[in-house]
Chain A
């Protein structure tokens, strides 16, 4: 049975789609069969980040409405053959999804794939609820900033009460904290919440800390998920995330501000 992972946050703009793309591609690079689903109906972005926007013919809503088959709508990634993307519809809104049909699509996908990664829309309305309803695990994407932490807290409440697992009284959704846009320097200067602060407030296990990085924007614009940029710290941090999702224990990196050496001080590095 496939593991259904929802990437969610409550707040918008914290890096859900970036993280979904990185996690999806990262798991596929490890040889797993992965499908990435864009639940942000009406604000289709995942295909852009994945660089497959020009190959979208049918979308998730078409499949839900029976206007296309899953195979017609799924886009095979050109880089990794074990990865497929199910894009959102740009012309519809979030009411186009319903629990029953989403459940059928997920069940169908579960037969062929090892991982189903659901990229949730922001907010706590129907669209976000739909994305988290069938999840087995949740990657709660949070920026080290009070409003983002509070919204993540709200979403954690929803995961525990509004999901299928909660409704049926099954084992609760496995929650992971993914801290993105982390800047150790600003933490040291007291401008940003630290990893410990966020862990203390949300009290869920830490899956990863992605440092604030120029590489992320560059990767998004190029349609190449940042995890492929193995030179960048953000790319490496996402690779650690994949290891941890697969059950490995990996030390956390990029938590300390880089100490400037004598040369960089002299030459203003």
Chain B
């Protein structure tokens, strides 16, 4: 077979898109440096697509690319709803132009509309938590250990020791004692819940609302689930 060694397949990826609102590179750099300082590890070598639709031509593509790379991002290409000439120019200069599904379908829509589309997108992502898959951890999570289920529910088959931390963007289930910290709905998800067979936690938090151990009175030492009720943490008996 001639093509046994390679195969083309379509895949979609999550890429960060950097929207530029000003052509002033100094201001852009300032903002980016501040952003990176908040989470250096997160941004290091992150692939970035630059959206230039809010800039009026001529745009200095080369300098933008250099700036992005200087700040330790991986430059992927440009995107945005721009006219054919500009798109052609970008490609002529040797950069890749990435078409987004959104840019293709609504290339003529206004910024305001796009903003609202984006917001509903985010909300959809969060409320789709019932689609979260489970990250299963077998065995005890010991003091000093941290387990994070990114975009997942976390299931711990074992106890969570005092001084340990379990975090999930979805729900947390502990089939054992919860003595450490549990943070559910970490990315902002008010329907996240925490379940455990014995509640002796140092801290429980859902969507930013938290209890320290001293505020857990009612169901201490019992099987319990914790959820938000009108943005107030509530604990209920599990059995």
Interface residues of A (CB under 8 A from B): 124, 150-151, 153-154, 156-157, 160-161, 200-201, 203
Contact = CB atoms under 8 A, between A and B. Distances in A.
Contacts of B158: 203
Nearest to A200: B177
A151 B161 CA distance: 11
Interface residues of B, number: 15
Interface stretch (B36-44, B141-149, B206-214): B141-149
B72 interface: no
A63 B40 CA distance: 43
Contacts, number: 34
Contacts of A151: 143
Interface string B122-155: 0000000000000000011111110000000000
A93 B159 CA distance: 37
B159 A157 contact: no
B228 interface: no
B162 A153 contact: yes
B179 A201 contact: yes
A150 B144 CA distance: 9
B142 to A, nearest CB: 3
Contact of A154 (B143, B159, B177): B143
Contacts of B143: 150-151, 153-154, 157
A135 to B, nearest CB: 16
B23 interface: no
Contacts of B142: 153-154, 156-157, 160
Q: Which 5 A-B pairs have the closest CB atoms?
A: A157-B142, A153-B143, A154-B143, A154-B144, A153-B161
Contacts of B47: none
B188 interface: no
Q: Classify the secondary structure of A's interface with B.
A: helix
Contacts of A156: 140, 142
Nearest to A159: B142
A203 B163 contact: no
A150 B162 contact: yes
Given A201-B179, A203-B140, 17 more contacts: A124-B144, A150-B161, A150-B162, A150-B163, A153-B144, A153-B161, A153-B163, A154-B142, A154-B144, A156-B142, A157-B142, A157-B145, A157-B164, A160-B139, A201-B161, A201-B162, A203-B159
A203 B138 CA distance: 13
A153 B144 CA distance: 9
Nearest to A10: B143
Interface string B177-197: 101000000000000000000
Contacts of B140: 156, 203
Contacts of A154: 142-144, 163
A249 B93 CA distance: 78
Interface in B155-170: 158-159, 161-164
A124 B141 CA distance: 17
A61 B73 CA distance: 45
A14 to B, nearest CB: 16
Nearest to B198: A200
A163 to B, nearest CB: 13
Which of B141, B142, B161, B179 is most buried by chain A, counting CB atoms within 10 A of its CB?
B142
Contacts of B164: 157
B179 A157 contact: no
Nearest to B176: A203
B217 to A, nearest CB: 21
A157 B163 CA distance: 11
A220 to B, nearest CB: 29
Nearest to B162: A150
24 contacts: A124-B144, A150-B143, A150-B161, A150-B163, A153-B142, A153-B143, A153-B144, A153-B161, A153-B162, A153-B163, A154-B142, A154-B143, A154-B163, A156-B140, A156-B142, A157-B142, A157-B143, A157-B164, A160-B142, A161-B145, A200-B177, A201-B179, A203-B140, A203-B159
